[in-house]
């Protein structure tokens, strides 16, 4: 009956089953009593009902029973919750997690970054979560865990996955326009596969030899593609396709003008996104990446954006 996919799932599931059973018993019991009383004491049979003016024992019973039931529900909930709040085991794998409008970024102890969570089976993992913009909430339904991520704080959540597989990971706190796009997965690998992935450098080598690959990786890792498509389709922000070397119509301080998309424009759009708003898009939806992307990163991103354009200069 219980999910056993994480070390916390049994506690949460048993609390759920207990609360649900109590509710179900009351729903059925009260409905049956109601129907019975409707028939048994209908007006035709009881034209002059007896007035009952209080019954001490009945009142004591209906105070005591609900207290016991509610305290029981509280007890099970509390017992399932305490281990979640406890400190992560000292050998837990630490993963820096960034929740941002509207994507996830996971950074591992060796500097690897991914947009989906990758963890080994049977090892405690602690997510150190931050948000640079608004409140998000990391939710893994299969593991029965969820925690809000409040800007300005590092929020910790630890758990241990019991079974290999791929499970959904959601943002469970409405965080703006593309909130529903904030879904990814947690991939639980065997220790061997995890170790291989962890030390695998082919991606890094590939990035060094393929033009634009480093830029694409930066675009993915920083969640840019949540709002900027690579294929020309319109999302919250303009697509990267066929913009380099082309003129765009922008609004600068309320004045419309045409601008050539070059390295300088791309850099300024990343550092000061509200300076020049492309026609058909809205102001105030993107934050500045001044503290997150260096000039070198932006050079790489520009190289990648060039590869998506029919004009190279």
List of residues contacting Cu ion (CB under 5 A): 136, 171, 175, 182
Q: Where are the beta strands (DSSP E) in the chain?
A: 93-100, 103-107, 113-114, 117-120, 124-130, 136-140, 145-149, 155-160, 165-171, 183-189, 247-252, 255-260, 276-278
In the bound complex, what is the minimum distance in angstroms from residue 173's beta carbon to Cu ion?
6
Q: For the CB of residue 44, give the shortest distance to Cu ion in the complex, in Å.
A: 60
Tell me if 303 sits within 8 A of 215, measured CB to CB: yes
Whichever of 289 and 304 has its CB closer to Cu ion, that residue is 289
Find the shortest distance in angstroms from Cβ 153 to Cu ion. Answer: 15
Spatial separation of the C-alpha atoms in residues 87 and 126, rounded to whole Å: 9
Q: Which is nearer to Cu ion, 95 or 216 (CB)?
A: 95
Closest to Cu ion by CB, 171 or 226: 171
Instruction: Give the nearest distance from C-beta 222 to Cu ion in angstroms.
Output: 15
The residue (of 9 and 184) whose beta carbon lies closer to Cu ion is 184
Distances in whole angstroms, Cα of residue 226 to Cα of each of 100, 104, 143, 145, 283? 10, 10, 25, 24, 17
Cβ closest to Cu ion, residue 14 vs residue 183: 183
Query: Which strands form 276-278's sheet, in the order they lie side by side?
Result: 255-260, 247-252, 276-278
How many whole angstroms separate alpha carbon 83 and alpha carbon 128?
Answer: 17
Nearest approach, Cβ of 216 to Cu ion (angstroms)?
23
């Amino acid at each position: 009956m219980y999910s056993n996919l994480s070390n916390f799932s049994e506690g949460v599931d048993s609390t759920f089953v207990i609360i649900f059973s109590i509710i179900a018993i009351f729903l059925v019991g009260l409905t049956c009593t109601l129907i019975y009383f409707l028939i048994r004491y209908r007006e035709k049979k009881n034209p002059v009902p007896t007035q009952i003016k209080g019954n001490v024992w009945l009142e004591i019973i209906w105070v005591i029973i609900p207290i016991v039931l509610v305290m029981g529900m509280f007890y099970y909930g509390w017992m399932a919750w305490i281990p979640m709040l406890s400190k992560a085991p000292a050998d837990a794998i630490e993963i820096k997690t960034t929740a941002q409008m509207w994507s996830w970024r996971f950074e591992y102890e060796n500097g690897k970054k991914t947009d989906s969570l990758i963890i080994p089976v049977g090892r405690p993992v602690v997510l150190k979560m931050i948000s640079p913009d608004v409140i998000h909430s990391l939710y893994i339904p299969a593991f029965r865990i969820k925690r809000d991520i409040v800007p300005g704080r590092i929020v910790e959540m630890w758990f241990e996955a019991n079974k290999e597989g791929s499970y959904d990971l959601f943002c469970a706190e409405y965080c703006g326009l593309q909130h529903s796009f904030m879904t990814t997965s947690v991939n639980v690998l065997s220790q061997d596969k995890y170790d291989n992935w962890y030390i695998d450098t082919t991606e890094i080598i590939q990035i060094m030899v393929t033009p634009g690959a480093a830029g694409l990786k930066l675009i993915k890792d920083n969640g840019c593609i949540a709002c900027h498509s690579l294929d020309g389709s319109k999302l919250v922000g303009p697509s990267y396709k066929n913009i380099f070397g082309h003129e765009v119509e922008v609004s600068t301080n309320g004045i419309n003008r045409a601008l050539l998309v070059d390295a300088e424009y791309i850099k300024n759009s990343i550092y000061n996104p509200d300076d020049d708003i492309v026609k058909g898009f809205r102001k105030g939806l993107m934050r500045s990446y001044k503290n997150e992307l260096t000039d070198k990163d932006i050079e790489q991103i520009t190289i990648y954006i060039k590869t998506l354009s029919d004009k190279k200069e």
